[in-house]
């Protein structure tokens, strides 16, 4: 079956028909509230490694709970490793895996598109919103 963005589809007389598939999983995770922040922060850190409290400090507004959940998800996906040191006080180091490191440059290609088109997107939003607020209907 043919694919687009890793998603199988069948072509019919009235157009293609898609079926749900894998890449959405990754994009959904990156699209959540904190994941990219965590990945970006680790990619900047020396050795691509930071401890819990450093991550928390580096991401303004993240709660302890959400940082933990975000890190668990990334660990589960094999994008980072968690190393626990049973000292007093305890210390936990989070480091990007090889796969985690390889993701950032790939993502960077797409965020480059976002950055260069962001002004257009904001302009389109402003235009759309100003069109909608007066009495003008969308027809």
Cβ burial of 85 (10 Å; 0-12, 13-18, 19+) is: exposed
Site for DNA in 31-50 (CB under 7 A): 32-34
* Residues 27/20, Cβ–Cβ less than 8 Å: no
Site for its own copies in 6-45 (CB under 8 A): 6-7, 9, 11, 14-20, 22-33, 36-37, 40-41, 43-45
Does 88 help bind its own copies (rule: CB under 8 A)?
no
Residue 8 neighbours by CB under 8 Å, 6+ apart: 1, 2, 18, 19, 21
SS3 130: helix
Does 92 help bind DNA (rule: CB under 7 A)?
yes
Task: Look at residue 66 and give the partner it binds from DNA, its own copies, none, a contact being a CB closer than 5 to 8 Å depending on partner kind.
Answer: DNA
Task: Look at residue 64 and give the partner it binds from its own copies, DNA, none, a contact being a CB closer than 5 to 8 Å depending on partner kind.
Answer: DNA
Angle at CA 32, nearest 5°, toward 43 and 103? Answer: 35
- Residue 132 beta carbon to DNA: minimum distance, rounded to whole angstroms: 10
CB closer to its own copies, 88 vs 106:
106
């Amino acid at each position: 079956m043919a694919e687009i963005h890793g998603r199988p589809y069948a072509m019919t007389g009235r157009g293609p028909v898609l079926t749900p598939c894998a890449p959405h999983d990754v994009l959904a995770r990156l699209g959540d509230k904190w994941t990219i922040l965590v990945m970006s922060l680790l990619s900047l850190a020396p050795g691509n490694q930071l401890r819990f409290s450093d991550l928390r400090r580096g991401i303004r507004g993240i709660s302890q709970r959400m940082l933990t959940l975000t890190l668990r998800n990334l660990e589960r996906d094999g994008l980072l490793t968690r190393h626990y040191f049973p000292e007093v006080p305890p210390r936990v180091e989070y480091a990007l895996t090889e796969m985690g490191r390889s993701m950032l440059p790939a993502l960077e290609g797409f965020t480059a598109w976002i950055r260069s088109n962001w002004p257009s997107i904001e302009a389109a939003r402003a235009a759309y919103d100003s069109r909608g607020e007066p009495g003008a209907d969308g027809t």
